[in-house]
Amino acid sequence: MQIFYSINSLQDFLKSQRKMGRSIGLVPTMGALHKGHLSLIDASKIQNDLTVCSIFVNPTQFNNQQDLAVYPRTLEADCQMLESVNCDVVFSPNAQDIYPTLPNLKFDFGDLERVMEGKFRLGHFNGVGIVVSKLFNIIQPDNAYFGQKDLQQCAIINRLVKDLSYNLKLNVCPTQRETDGLAMSSRNRNLTPEQRKIAPAIYKSLQKAVELLKNKNSSESVKLLIVNQLDNIEGIKVEYFEISDFETLQPINELSEGKTALCIAAFMGTTRLIDNVII
């Protein structure tokens, strides 16, 4: 596995690989890797000759400076994990290289970002759009891999790829879960042992909501019930729970099989977790 810290050295290497006709898969991450990330590496390795994992904690997508400050940075452990799954290349640039100047450019993804994460984390998707565009431009992958856990991010990047005519295929891979159902996330490591014990209640509530919707309960009643039940658990505070069209991400009143996404964000202390399921 090769590790590159600068854009120039990575690009020289990738140029030589492309000359040999090798296809490139990109797995963009902010590090603090877990098995969910490794499943993206596995998917990329199946479809590409060369897999690049970028590790960059992107300051422009944090609307909360405290969140940025405590975001786990574990490059050495990350590289060991990547080596164990035979990732070919790690790209770990510094902020100065990615942002020699702060961009004036602003992305607005319209209705897609007026809901859920975009509504509660103002400017977040502008930062994601900017850094993902930069990574696509720097690496020019044939395929890029993202996890379904960040469903809204996937929808936004899908739009970005179309709007800017990126010549790559976006691959959305299933959410990986712990055995008790908790969605794998870099933020899970910030949970106290007590919080970790109750965190699976978030996924359980999504499963319960699916059952209620399939039994013809209205979206409104399901939303109320689920939010009340979760908020009654000490240590969990729901920020939003939405029942939406899985492509447009706009709220819907009735279940439409194969097209409905149930999305949730909840705080456990200062740690914010998100999850979703698609019916």
Catalytic residue numbers read 37
Which residue's structure tokens are 């899970």?
188
Contact between 124 and 118 (Cβ < 8 Å): yes
- For ligand PAF, the binding residue among 14, 24, 26, 29 (CB under 6 A) is 29
Which residue's structure tokens are 């069209």?
245
- For ligand PAF, the binding residue among 132, 154, 236, 249 (CB under 6 A) is 132
- Interface segment toward ligand PAF; rule CB under 6 A; list 28-36, 175-183, 201-209, 237-245: 28-36
- For ligand PAF, the binding residue among 26, 30, 144, 209 (CB under 6 A) is 30
- Interface segment toward ligand PAF; rule CB under 6 A; list 22-30, 66-74, 190-198, 223-231: 22-30
Q: Is 175 in the site for ligand PAF (CB under 6 A)?
A: no
- Interface segment toward ligand PAF; rule CB under 6 A; list 24-32, 215-223, 228-236, 246-254: 24-32
**234: phi then psi, degrees, rounded to nearest 5:** -65, 130
Q: Is 61 in the site for ligand PAF (CB under 6 A)?
A: yes
Nearest-5° Cα angle at 177, 274 to 210: 65
- For ligand PAF, the binding residue among 131, 160, 262, 273 (CB under 6 A) is 131
Distance separating alpha carbons of residues 263 and 259, to the nearest angstrom: 13
User: CB 147 → ligand PAF: shortest distance, Å?
Assistant: 7
Q: Is 133 in the site for ligand PAF (CB under 6 A)?
A: no
Nearest-5° Cα angle at 112, 167 to 53: 45
- Number of chain positions touching ligand PAF (CB under 6 A): 10
Straight-line distance from the first to the last Cα atom of the chain, in angstroms, rounded to the nearest whole number: 39
Q: Half-sphere exposure of 31 toward its Cβ, with a 13 Å CA cutoff? A: 21
- For ligand PAF, the binding residue among 39, 48, 51, 58 (CB under 6 A) is 58
**In the numeric block, which tokens belong to residue 199?**
């965190």
Q: Report the 10 Å Cβ neighbour count for 139.
A: 22
Q: Which residues bind ligand PAF (CB under 6 A)?
A: 28-30, 58, 61, 128, 131-132, 150, 153
